[in-house]
Amino acid sequence: MVDWTIQKYGKLDIMFSNAGIGSKSPQTILDLDVSQFDRLFEVNVRGMAICVKHAARVMVERHIKGTIVCTANVIANNCRGSTNATDYIMSKHAILGLVRSTSQQLGTYGIRVNSVSPAAVPTSKRTNEEIKKTFGPFTSLKDISLTVKHIADSVLFLASNDSAFSLAMTWWSTVG
């Protein structure tokens, strides 16, 4: 992916690392399915770390003052965690650790590392009505639904010069 980008565009100055899967069944600590846990961490954590590693190496080697944005999740920023998605929340906490650590390591090269932490958005697997039913009581902005475009706009902001002051920041994309 990194090599292809450099071949196609001549450089890599922005990396958006957006990986995430959920478990096929509820995952409490008492019922943790280790094979699901391993698969989820392979995608959500290992995959993202590898993307960040390769993008960062190219940026450092080529003296590019770039930006890396990773996707976490708003629940990972929530102090309460989750009652049935232990593995998923753990993986998104790991992303916050990745962002915070790499931002300190790469900042000296002029490379900014931040994350976007979205709330739930409608997908082919979850409708807007289901999201409102589940999360509606916890939101303040009742007349708006979070969309993929809202999240994309957050990523574009973090990747732009408008956020040149941001390092190790987590941008919450929620409806309150």
Q: Give the Cβ contact number of residue 58 at 10 Å.
A: 19
Burial of residue 52, with CB atoms counted within 10 A of its CB: 0-12 exposed, 13-18 middle, 19 or more buried: buried
Concerning whether 109 is annotated as a catalytic residue, the answer is no
Q: What is the pTM (predicted TM-score) of this model?
A: 0.87
Single-letter amino acid, residue 141: L
The active-site residue, picked from 45, 48, 74, 88, is 88
Ordered by where they begin, the domains of the chain are 2-173 (3.40.50.720)
pLDDT in tens, 48-99: 999 999 999 999 999 999 999 999 988 777 767 778 889 999 999 999 999 9
